[in-house]
Each structure stands twice: as C-alpha cells, then as structure tokens.
Amino acid sequence: MLVFDKLYIGGHWTTPATGEILTVRSPHDQTVVGTAPHAAPADVDRAVAAARTAFDDGPWPRMSPEERQAVVARLSKLHSARADELAALVTAENGSPIWFTGWTHHTGVPEQNDSYLRAAAALDWEAQVGGTGTARTLLRREAVGVVAAIIPWNAPHQSALVKLVPALLAGCTVILKASPETALDALALAQVLDEAGLPEGVVSVLPAGRETSEYLVSHPDVDKIAFTGSTAAGRRIAAIAGEQLKRVSLELGGKSASIVLEDADLESTVAGLKAVSLGNNAESCIAHTRILVPRTRYEEFVAALKTMMEVIVVGDPAAPETFIGPMVRPDQLERVRGYIRIGIEEGARLVTGGLEPIDGLEGGNYVRPTLFADVDNSMRIAREEVFGPVLVVIPFDDEADAVRIANDSEYGLGGGVWGADPKHALEVARLIRAGWMTVNGAPATPDGSFGGYKNSGIGREFGAVGLNQYLEYKTIGI
C-alpha cells in the first residue's frame, strides 16, 4: 500500500492543514491502493500565496524562454523514466487498462510535451510587428500569471501535463488540483516535479474534492483557471471566473459521432471503432459513442459491432490481455447501468450487453460492453454523455442526413468519418462542428490543437495553440 502523509506546496513537502485522509480503493476488487492527505482551503491559501510570490517576485517568469524550456525538457525526461511505474499506479487507482496507461505514459505524454517544447522554441516572445519613420511597434507575449489547473481522474497525468507544461513554458506558476480518485499518482507526479528543479513556489500539487476545488477557483489571487471535466462543472467554473474576469480554458464533455460512409470497409472500420469508441473503458470525453450507419448497410454493421463487443476481454485492468477494465467508482457503475435502463425504456434494441453482472467480476465496478440499435438521435442515450462502454447505432438516409445528425448535439468535441475514399471522407469531416476529427481512425499529432465547440468547452490544448492559452499579449509603441 502506498502512503503519502504530506502535500507538495510551493516546492516543499508540507504537513497538511487538517488530518483528513483520502483512501484510494481499487475499482477492480475494492482493496486499498493507498492513502493521501485531503487538501483543505487552508492548504489552497498556502499554495496560492507561494505561487503569487513566485510569480510577482521570483525568478521563474523572468528567466529566458530557453532557460524555462531546459527545465521543462528535464521534467519530461524524468517523467518518461518512471513511465512503467506511473502507468501501473494509475491503472490500480482508476481501473484504466494497462495497455492504455502504458501507451499514455510511454508515447502520448512525451509526444504532447515535445509539441509544447517545439512551439515554445519557435515562438517570437518579443517581435517588432510594424512601425513608420522613427516609431516602432513591439508585440510581447507574457505569462498570464498564477494558474489553477484542475484535472479529472480518467487520464490524470495526460490531463495534468497538458496544462502544467505550457503554463510553465509561458512563465506561469501553477497549483495543480487533482481528483480524489487519483490522489496517489498526483503526489507521485509531485516527486517528479520536485526532482526537475523548479524554483520555490512555482508548483503545488493538491488532491482534493469539489469543495476545495471551488475555493481554489474563486481565490482572488488566481489569474487563470484551466479545467478538464464535466460540462456541468465547467459551467460553474465559468460562472465564478466570469464574476472575477479571470482567464479560463475548459475542456469538457462530448457525445462524438462517427459517420460510416456507404463505401466503408466493414472489417477495418469496426476495428477502428473499437479503439476510438471503447478505449480507456469509454470513460473518455472524446469517445465516439454515436455510430452513424447508412440504412443500406445498417444490419451488417450492427452485427459486426455486436461480434466485436462480445469478444472484448473485460477484467483485471493490470492484465495485458484486458481491453476494458472496471468503472472508476461504484456510483459511476450505477450511472452507466442507469443509462442502459434508460435505453431499454426508450425503446432502443438491446443488441448485446445489458445489466447482468459479469461472472467472476462481481467484486469490482464492472459493466458489460453494451450496444443499442434502432436508436433515434432524440433519445437520451444518443444525447447525454454516459462515460462508459455504451454505444448506440443510428441509421441515416444519405450523407447530408448523417451530417445533420452528427451536428445535432449540444456537444462538439470529436468525431470521425470512415470511407474507402479518404479525400471524400475528409470533405465530410470538414462539415462536422467538432474540434478533434479523424478520417478512418488516423491519429492526429499534438502539434494541432485539442478542444471542442459548443458545450464541449472553451479554448484549446496542445502545441502552439495550447501554449497561447497561458500568454497575455502586450503591444508597446516606441
């Protein structure tokens, strides 16, 4: 069992303000993975004060961009050196399968970090943009200030570093607020940050629940909120930030649609849908949980999706053969089961899965991967984010109808188009109001941007676009 008894505040391991403890239990069998302090508002006050002093008077914002880049590059290298250990810890805490956490820590996070480093190296931090006669105009990019980074439990290190790295490169100071479910890996990340050699006050790491989060968001000495989580929580954060005119970036929920075109290859499309729809237990904002299929090929694809979902290995997330592990908490399991009940009540056809427990896994938060057919886009299972392995297949008449259905959503985070002609599939993808699209499952690099339209958020992450979320612009006429 892993035990932390201190919080990481301003670069120091510090005794917490209260004796409240977070107990992290395995979603696989409910055993205790470890314990960590629960940060209280008093801990937030100490962390924000340290960050404020470090930003206003410390060396970090005043270092050259190249000096900050060297520290962040060292941080990324140290993090990669512990990839196996950190991946296993996240799997134990939140039930993400080891194939996913392994890929995230070995490949996804390093590529993400490198995209930010490339962007920072290429950025004109101060540039002359115009002038006439003896006058000049300078455009400067400066750090936004003290950042509160609030992250979820489903991909905790990816979510943390997608905010920490650009904020640090910009010269900001950061308070990272981690979820209670993944408190242990958050403090393990603090160990890496400590080893990287950041100046005093630059980073704090606080695992805590909703009450402490709201206190941090409303703190008057925080300049920017960077949040990943539910749309409901994002609305609350935006309201608080709006009252104080804080800068805010929000990466929120999704109900992404994958459009299967008439000429799509059955086998490769279904294999691709397995990855983009059910990866990380489908506890993913970007999961393609609405599958749009032409009526002429509808039953063919429903049958193939049924076969795919029935042979998926569900079980111990630490086992390499497991594709889907448990839901993170018992209440999340009940939420997913609730949506399965709703789908049945709404009249959708339950093709596979359902409410029956899985033999041998009754002690964990396990749900059967579930597929619904004969779904109308007005049904709740087609409109609301389930955050679990529940897919719906919706028929369409022609491509215009498919585009209309895909865009008929309050969300606009991701989606895909599948077809034999990639150029034509790209034309269709351009019509979808979503921020992260794929054609035939092709991965997009983090040199692009990640974020959503509509209720899927405000702002973007990754690369140069993500770095700019942590910068203010100053024009100086000389």
Report, as residue numbers or ranges, the catalytic residues. 251, 285
Q: Alpha-carbon distance 154 to 343, whole Å?
A: 24
Alpha carbons 266 and 275: distance in angstroms, whole number? 15
Contacts of 300 (CB under 8 A, 6+ apart): 266
133: left (phi over 0), alpha (psi -120 to 50) or beta: left
d(CA 336, CA 354): 10
Q: Give the separation between CA 410 and CA 454, rounded to whole angstroms.
A: 6
Asked if 170 and 470 touch (Cβ cutoff 8 Å), the reply is: yes
Q: What share of the chain is helix, strand, coil (3-state, %, to 5)?
A: 45, 25, 35
Among residues 281, 315, 369, 314, the alpha carbon closest in space to that of 29 is found at 315
Its sign, for the CA torsion 51, 53, 56, 62, is negative
CA-closest candidate to residue 219, choices 103, 355, 46, 93? 46
DSSP labels, 345-375: HTT-EEEEEESSPPTT-TTS---EEEEEES-
Strands 390-396 and 411-412: unpaired
Cα four-point dihedral sign 377, 379, 384, 386: negative
Residue 257: exposed, middle, or buried by beta-carbon count in 10 A (0-12, 13-18, 19+)?
A: buried
* Contact indicator for 204, 44 with CB cutoff of 8 Å: no
Of all helices (H) and strands (E), which one includes residue 395?
strand 390-396
Could you give the CA distance from residue 465 to residue 462 in angstroms, rounded to a whole number?
Answer: 6
* Sequence-ordered list of residues with C-beta below 8 angstroms from that of 386, at least 6 positions apart, any chain: 282, 289, 335, 336, 339
